[in-house]
Structure 1
Amino acid sequence: MHIPKVISSLTLAVGALGKGTAVRKTGKGPTGYVVDFVFTPNSTTHASSVLLGGFPLFSDSLHGSLSKTDGYSPYEWKSDMFSMRLSPDYGNEADNLAGLEMTHNEHTGDWEITVPLPSGTWLYAYYPNCTTGNWRNCDVAIVDPSNLPIEAFAGDQLLSAIQLPFDREFQVNDYDWQLPLEDISKRGNVSFHRYSSPGSTYPYPNVHDVGVYLPYEYGKIPNKKYPVLYLSNGGQGSDSDWFQQAQIHNIVDRLINAGKLEPTILITPNWYDLGFTLEEYQTNATLQAEYLDVVGYSRFFNKVRENFFSYLMPWVNENYDVSNSSSNRAFGGLALGGTLTLAMLFNATDYFSSYCIMSPTPAPSAGDQQYNATISPGLRDVGILTGAGFYDTTFNAARDWETALAAENVTYLSHYSMSGAHQWSTWQEIVYVYLKEALWKPVPYGRKTSFNQVNPLSGGVPYRR
């Protein structure tokens, strides 16, 4: 059994962020809570202005689409609004990426602003000396010195995270399932580790890094073996993304504590810097979904799959009390990490029993040989949950993938965030549903029930066709 030293862990109580930024309950509209953001510059930061940014502004269903949003400010927030990120490939981000101007406190030297925000997780940073009001165009992002991010190495994360509770008097959507568990003794541990990976280039030659979450009871129950879920980052991400940007450890803590999820080990691998790149696998094949080199991505992520099975999985199995049964192993990922999950699904079908594919890039079309039982044996015997955001740039790809699954008689579950775009709030919601409703449940998911079963509401009368 391996009980690691916690290298990096951060679970902050609301309103306990130290000298600087803090959450405050107001009991007033628009949300019932505000965040007092306080940025204390260091001796090398000489700012004439500072923007608070990092989170998209708000829209509602009347003003939001894949290509536009009116970008309402937090001060205009109403209970039917949601924060929606537009992707630069699809629309003009100017309106929803406007920064909020902070005020300089001449007495303390700090930059300050008070912002109402609804419940959930909010990512932010400070942007000094911007030439425009759009924080994406600023030269530098500074994380909050009073609220440092969870990261394996300094600079991995460019945004701090703040979490606010739900106030039923002013809000409709309750995201308290993202907040730290109140009972500190029941919180799990987050840590980052290095393992031997020949060919890897970061953080050191032939060494790679990985994030690990252990449930609070780990190491306290002799001889217990735990199920393990691998969750992959997306494009331009790292092994700390799921902990910092999704606060996944809080979500898992709460579900375990509520008896909705079996205590589970979480592994967050990083598929960058393994010694080969996406660019090396690019092809001149016909592109799908406007810009995605599906053939090249498939080849690259199969190379990642081979690397993980050669080095990462053996390290996990050797160092942690994980079950050796495929029924207790699962893999999930978002965006390009969803493409990696597809590579696992079609090429490591017998190793994992469950797959969570979020905002995926295009999958094999109906009729592709990868669905053939002789090519991918067991494909119809595993659990699959797939989904995206309603405003997600990968929405069409996700729906096309589901159409292909149905055409090939592969059962699945799906979840679409109706206010979600290609952003972390969408993937938080999908993974929450997956953990709560699907993971470690009987597979395959989504199998139709027989109409001959007894109707429990009819006094024993069978269903009729």
Structure 2
Amino acid sequence: MNNQKILKKIWSLFIATFIICGAQAQEIQQQRGVEVVSPEINGDNSVTFRLYAENAQSVTVSGSWMEFGQNLEMKKGDDGVWSAKTAALEPSMYHYNFILDGVSILDPRNPKALRDGTRYASTLIIPGEASDVFQVNDVPHGAITKVWYDSPTLKLNRRMYVYTPPGYANSEEKYPVLYLLHGGGGDEDAWSSLGRANYILDNLIAEGKAKPMIVVMTNGNAEQSAAVTDWSKQPDASQSFGPGANGNEQEIIDGMTKFPNSLVNDVIPYIEKHYRVIANSENRAIAGLSMGCLQTQITAMSNPGLFQYIGCFSLGIHFNTPFDLISNNILIPAYDQHLETMKNKLFYVGCGKDDFCFEGVQTLLKKLDEHNFECVYNETEGGHTWANWRIYLADYAPRLFK
């Protein structure tokens, strides 16, 4: 028998086995009467979760709508299906995991999932007016391109995501640019997957609430070439410093300013060379959340006049180590030096009332007020969450390039 016939026989056996196993699994499920629907969004916006785990000892739900460390207990039915029901949830996007006998897993009945750094979670969207802005609606859609570029500053070939608005490919028009930075633990994928930035812009542009713009979503981890899913080798973490980092003061400051320097020296020149942009400060905006907000402040305040629009989400001026080094050596001197003469069109600050960065944000607001520098402040419910950061982007984008 030649090799081709052998391969055909093996393939036929595989298909037959697959069909038989699938039929047996379906028959077993039908015999047991097990039909699992999860998640099920109820009419009052509560959610019922279900998991078939006949031999499990305990199952809970860990969800982004709950406080850190809290879990929702699931109860086991006679059919081996564990279930739990939440209280009514506000319209928004949420992520969750099942904790099965101490092990975090995705919801096997839910095809919608996302990645946040190295963590994967199932997702759901509670419909309503507040979540309409990031739903996939029947409107013209922009495009996201994964762009590789050289970064001489970081000595790496790196990747960023670039959103171009509907109509970009078929026009000769030039567009303003928003540089949008993620938080700690995230990467260039974060603002599109968790933040749903492209859908927010699609919907706002379609409604005439925001001007068509290019959005550049970078990887703010100076030691990484791209997201963890595309690492060919482990990044050299010694090249980047963060909270709790070792090293002398100057090394920590240098580590925290590496990406802002690369943004100015590598990213912006690349975008303005390869895309149809209006390359002036009145058509250049920057915004970031958490770590990205720190990088936003470093970039904007170290380069006054580069951006006419600055957005700070969930971070301010902080004095916990090692952020005190940046605050005392870069931010406060820059604010004191430049705020009197800066003529920015918008300085936007957003923070949740329960955010652990709330105090530092108030310090930032006091510094702005000290210099009679006007800002737009959006204080929301909740904490350091994507639910808030989507709100801030949806509020910030319509204010740009007016």
* TM-score, L = length of structure 1: 0.64
Q: Which residue of 1 aligns with 2:343?
A: 380
Q: 1:189 to 1:156 in 2, by over 3 A?
A: farther
Q: Which residue of 1 aligns with 2:196?
A: 247
Q: Report the CA distance between 1:278 and its aligned residue.
A: 1.0
Q: Read off the aligned partner of 2:257 and give its amino acid letter.
A: N
Q: 1:386 to 1:297 in 2, by over 3 A?
A: farther
Q: Report the CA distance between 1:244 and its aligned residue.
A: 2.4
1:433 aligns with 2:400: no
Q: Give me the CA root mean square deviation.
A: 3.5
Contact 1:21 1:147 in 2 (8 A): no
Q: 1:372 to 1:319 in 2, by over 3 A?
A: same
Q: Which is higher, the Rg of structure 1 or of structure 2?
A: 2
Cα separation, 2, equivalents of 1:345 and 1:367: 10
Q: Which residue of 1 aligns with 2:214?
A: 265
Q: Which residue of 2 aligns with 1:33?
A: 45
Q: Report the CA distance between 1:236 and its aligned residue.
A: 1.4
Contact 1:281 1:300 in 2 (8 A): no
Instruction: In structure 1, list runs of 5 or more residues that go unmatched.
Output: 1-18, 27-31, 58-84, 86-92, 131-138, 167-173, 286-294, 442-465
Cα separation, 2, equivalents of 1:48 and 1:219: 55
Q: Report the CA distance between 1:189 and its aligned residue.
A: 3.0
Instruction: In structure 2, list runs of 5 or more residues that go unmatched.
Output: 1-35, 225-235, 319-326
Contact 2:294 2:315 in 1 (8 A): yes
Q: Report the CA distance between 1:36 and its aligned residue.
A: 4.9
Cα separation, 2, equivalents of 1:407 and 1:318: 39
> How high is the sequence identity, in percent, across the aligned residues?
21
Contact 2:340 2:373 in 1 (8 A): no
For 1:443-454, what aligned pairs fall within 5 Å after superposition? none
1:52 aligns with 2:65: no
Contact 2:285 2:309 in 1 (8 A): yes
Q: Report the CA distance between 1:356 and its aligned residue.
A: 0.3
CA deviations 1:89-128 (Å, max 9, x no partner) are xxxx44xx2134264785xx87655545331111112322
* Counterpart secondary structure, 1:187: coil
1:101 aligns with 2:74: yes
* Counterpart secondary structure, 2:211: coil
Q: Which residue of 1 aligns with 2:150?
A: 196
Q: Which residue of 2 aligns with 1:186?
A: 140
* Counterpart secondary structure, 1:271: coil
Q: 1:164 to 1:325 in 2, by over 3 A?
A: same
1:334 aligns with 2:346: no
Cα separation, 2, equivalents of 1:21 and 1:216: 34
CA deviations 1:216-269 (Å, max 9, x no partner) are 22213x211111111111111222222222222232222111111001222211
Select which of 150, 159, 167 maps to 1:209.
159
Q: 1:328 to 1:35 in 2, by over 3 A?
A: same
Q: Report the CA distance between 1:389 and its aligned residue.
A: 1.1
Q: Which residue of 2 aligns with 1:389?
A: 352
Select which of 254, 258, 261 maps to 1:306.
261
Q: Read off the aligned partner of 2:387 and give its amino acid letter.
A: S
For 1:345-364, what aligned pairs fall within 5 Å after superposition? 345-362=300-317, 364=327
* Counterpart secondary structure, 2:120: coil
Contact 1:103 1:113 in 2 (8 A): no
* TM-score, L = length of structure 2: 0.73
Q: 1:323 to 1:110 in 2, by over 3 A?
A: farther
Cα separation, 2, equivalents of 1:435 and 1:232: 14
Q: Specify which structure has the higher proportion of helix.
A: 2
Contact 2:97 2:104 in 1 (8 A): no
Q: How many residues align?
A: 342
CA deviations 1:374-430 (Å, max 9, x no partner) are x6895333521113111111111111111111212322221111x121222222222
Q: 1:113 to 1:420 in 2, by over 3 A?
A: closer
Q: 1:20 to 1:281 in 2, by over 3 A?
A: same
Q: 1:223 to 1:191 in 2, by over 3 A?
A: closer
